Amino acid sequence: MKRNHTIMQFFEWHVEPDGKHWNRLSELAPELKAVGIDAVWVPPVTKAITNNDTGYGVYDLYDLGEFDQKGSVRTKYGTKDELVKAIATCQQNGILVYVDLVMNHKAGADETERFEVIEVDPNNRTEEISEPFEIEGWTKFTFPGRGNTYSPFKWNWKHFNGTDYDNKEGRNGIFRIHAENKQWAENVDDEFGNYDYLMFANIDYSHLDVRQEMLEWGKWLVDTLQCGGYRLDAIKHINHDFVREFATAMKKKRGEDFYIVGEFWKDELQACQEFLNTVDYKIDLFDVSLHYKLYEASHAGNSFDLTTIFHDTLVGSHPLNAVTFVDNHDSQPNEALESWVEDWFKPSAYALILLRKDGYPVVFYGDYYGIGGEHPIEGKKDQLDPLLCARYNKAYGEQEDYFDHPNTIGWVRLGVPEIERSGCAVVISNGDNGEKRMNVGEDRAGEVWVDLTGNREEQITIEEDGFAVFPVNGGSVSVWAQPDVDIEPGEEIPADLICGQQEGEHFGLEEQA
């Protein structure tokens, strides 16, 4: 039987810009596999405007840390050779690699050009606030360090439909390029009237040469890296028809198993559903709606009704297309979409994405290993490892919910015969100490269960009818399950025999199906 699959987002905004991140991934791959991670989402691999840039200020899509451009050969994360090695090492450890693609804009042009624009209202990009006038824009990309290697395509103003800086006057604005067949893309998010433009020089996907170049680049990249999938950045700003075209082409190139997930940052469920329809379900989406529910719950405390946590979420309506997450690089403190889930609720939030049957969950590097920068946040590896262990070894089988109290909810997974000792009972409280009487099956009668998180020290014996009362501390989570060895009530059990850590091995180290 296939084990549960789990992604780690293997970066946060303040990863040390020392050029050693790909080497860190190589070193940590066995450890990640050992805790049940079998896919990693890595940051943009392409050359950005500086070697300190996180990768979203993308300059040259064909430079993976191979050419001396923008001040260095390497990117923030390392060289091309180190990247290729890291991906191969992950694959040797049974870990897929999903590469982050930035296809909405380009930055750090090599030369300026003069062309006509019309300035638009930043709060309503469909409203023109000037007559056509000429600016000097940074839109010419010649890639002097790479030349024609891999692609002879050179970008100029005709390949974009907007920019944000007039070098001639030294001023910022949102400038729509004024020329024949130059408009904002229509099939994009309608925030600010039209949200085609986000930043830098905005790529024009109505231009046939642009579409062809980006499709060829996508195929080249997957051939070069042999990765297992893509994460598409900022797709609500990209012509949705091109997103479908791109995903279709990549799956045709690599097969239907090639995985693609998109960042469609909308907490309106209907908009996400409409997008999935538009792209013919060729990609999955991050469940932004659930993220904001978790964020709200963490800030509202016991005034939040936990029974509603999955209402109006993508995982609730489209479980097969939802990639669930607690936080990421954009939602972390001081970043563009800051909406940080408070520390006290973080383990409960992760239980809600890791231990249920629906969704493809992501563990955030910043939550697991910590966040750097001027305001560091300590990692929660010790709190998350028991939940990862429970996901890999216990969270299988039929799911029954006990969402019957606004401050204390629970569910059980009944387990499957193919995975010995699988099955668990999860209880979450956002108020006082609580408990849930739940049924884990008559066949479990007499088994002694323990709290894998260590938050509760007592042991629970399953009653003859399969029921038991499972307690939880206030503002906390407990995950009750059968330990790895049979014990009598009250018998001491070594910590390394509680979940998937039999002598001489770590859980998850065997090959996943």
Give tens-digit pLDDT for 324-383. 999 999 999 999 999 999 999 999 999 999 999 999 999 999 999 999 999 999 999 999
Average pLDDT, integer, range 281-297? 97
Fold classified for 106-203 = Elongation Factor Tu (Ef-tu); domain 3 (2.40.30)
Residue entry with tokens 């001023």 = 171
pLDDT digits (tens, 9 = 90+) for 156-176: 999 999 999 999 999 999 999
Tell me the two tokens of residue 125: 């990009």
CATH 2.40.30.140 in the chain is located at 106-203
Average pLDDT, integer, range 460-466? 97
Looking at residue 406, the DSSP 8-state letter turns out to be S
Q: How confident is the model at residue 504, as a pLDDT?
A: 33
Catalytic: 233?
A: yes
CATH 3.20.20.80 is right for the domain spanning 7-100+208-394: yes
**Residue stretches of the annotated binding site:** 104, 196, 204, 237
CATH 2.60.40.1180 in the chain is located at 399-497
Q: Which residue of the set 12, 38, 82, 233 is catalytic?
A: 233
- Indicate if the pLDDT at residue 472 is higher than 90: yes
Q: How confident is the model at residue 303, as a pLDDT?
A: 98
Instruction: Measure Cα distances from 5 to 2, 178, 284, 409 in Å.
Output: 8, 48, 15, 24
Distance of CA 430 to the CA centre of its chain: 25
Average pLDDT, integer, range 95-112? 98
- Indicate if the pLDDT at residue 42 is higher than 60: yes
Question: Does the pTM exceed 0.85?
Answer: yes
Please report which confidence band the pLDDT of residue 496 belongs to, taking 50, 70 and 90 as the band edges: low
State the Cα–Cα distance between residues 326 and 130, nearest whole angstrom: 43
CATH 3.20.20.80 in the chain is located at 7-100+208-394
Q: What angle do CA 495, 499, 500 make, to 5 degrees?
A: 115
Residue entry with tokens 């997008």 = 275
What percent of the chain has a predicted confidence (pLDDT) above 70? 96
- Helix axes of 80-92 and 208-225: crossing angle, nearest 10 degrees: 60
Q: How confident is the model at residue 48, as a pLDDT?
A: 98
Radius of gyration (C-alpha) of the chain in whole angstroms: 25
Q: Which residue of the set 128, 263, 400, 435 is catalytic?
A: 263
Please report which confidence band the pLDDT of residue 497 belongs to, taking 50, 70 and 90 as the band edges: low
**Residue stretches of the annotated binding site for Ca(2+):** 104, 196, 204, 237
Contact indicator for 471, 429 with CB cutoff of 8 Å: no
Contact indicator for 285, 262 with CB cutoff of 8 Å: yes
Least confident of 394-398, 400-404, 444-448, 496-500: 496-500
CATH of 399-497, one of 3.30.930.10, 3.20.20.105, 2.60.40.1180, 3.60.20.10: 2.60.40.1180
What percent of the chain has a predicted confidence (pLDDT) above 90? 93
Four-point Cα dihedral 240, 241, 245, 247, nearest 10: 20
Average pLDDT, integer, range 251-255? 95
- pLDDT averaged over the chain? 95
Q: How confident is the model at residue 493, as a pLDDT?
A: 73
Catalytic: 189?
A: no
